[in-house]
Homo-oligomer: A and B are copies of this chain.
């Protein structure tokens, strides 16, 4: 394998930067952010432009019936299985240039360099631009990769509308993917999936590493916690008579976050949203609803934490004369990345002298959808200040290039 970072011509580096800027031009906002929602005009332009770019590189392109775009480099072996690599093209509202987009561009550049240098591979490589992962237009995530894996059908989106009342079905049709022609776009010929992505956290930066080798993607359990107290006059109700939902919620949040720290350093528990009723300065709150987001890469730890908190929260709440209700609205199982390939990737990183570390992904990614069916791997590059889903999202060109260099070598070892 002859490709090393130091040998990359400046022209190639410039190309990476140009590609990032070029893809971010579809859906660019006034704040230098990117808004590219599923099936929107900007999304259609981006997918069509990517298709054209793939063809320029020499890939055979096609859309599946939900709008996932594939660019195929046919393998020479008879009945060649497919190595799939890529990420998602959609963004959140006012997102950045790197989330998702970098993964598609990294795969495109890696495959382009391999093809230029070595010609056709033994095994087929396909670059994918998944139509949707974020769940930022419709209340549903992984529409792209879950279709590819057969987890979704039209039934999952039949009654869903966006914030403007446009139905999912109508949006699909307007983008050129008429639901009337829907047939499950499940792929059974894929051997493994490899994704590169920005970390969206600050672990790599704090540890001064450029490459994060993801060992697991966390499981997520999300709850709505509802505390019912009694709304009373803040002046005329002595403290001892109160059933103050804010006081109960505060004690619970302190307890929940301390307990998470106690159990495991990888466990995170977040209360990000709080709604108080009636939410008036001089009225004791009658009700508080808050979100609880719990993540860890081992189901046992998630179980242990949930068992530890539920009965304790009930007791705390009762002791404060308030009632509590938990309702779960998300349950995502943790998954492990393919350990066999991880070993190979670690070796490559050592040989290439890339500063790397193992890391757990605390965010969800398309790789996790594949990981429940086939070997899948995920490689991170740093996010400056941990910022993501924001126009300030940034990864340096050097870091982007190191990710591409690593992916290129991994694909070479897998397919050539």
Contact of A246 among B236, B240, B272 (CB under 8 A): B272
Are A234 and B266 closer than 8 Å at their CB atoms? no
CB contacts (< 8 Å) of A280 on chain B: these are: 272-273
Are A362 and B246 closer than 8 Å at their CB atoms? no
How large, as a class, is the contact surface on chain A?
35 or more
Among A26-34, A81-89, A197-205, the stretch in contact with B: A197-205
- Number of this chain's copies in the assembly equals 2
Contact of A233 among B271, B282, B388 (CB under 8 A): B388
CB contacts (< 8 Å) of A328 on chain B: these are: none
A293 to B: closest C-beta gap in Å:
5
CB contacts (< 8 Å) of A274 on chain B: these are: 246, 274, 276, 279
> Given known contacts A253-B247, A281-B222, is B273 in contact with A261 (CB within 8 Å)?
no
CB contacts (< 8 Å) of A200 on chain B: these are: 233, 235-236
List residues of A (53-104) whose CB comes within 8 Å of B's CBs. none
Cα–Cα, bound, A220→B265 (Å): 44
Cα–Cα, bound, A384→B237 (Å): 13
CB contacts (< 8 Å) of A218 on chain B: these are: 235
Are B271 and A282 closer than 8 Å at their CB atoms? no
- Chain B proximity mask over A269-301: 1 for CB below 8 Å, otherwise 0: 111111010111111110000010101000000
Contact of A234 among B202, B239, B251, B295 (CB under 8 A): B295
Is A238's beta carbon under 8 Å from chain B? yes
- The 11 listed contacts between A and B (C-beta, < 8 Å) are A203-B236, A206-B241, A222-B281, A235-B362, A237-B268, A237-B362, A239-B267, A244-B257, A246-B253, A272-B276, A272-B284
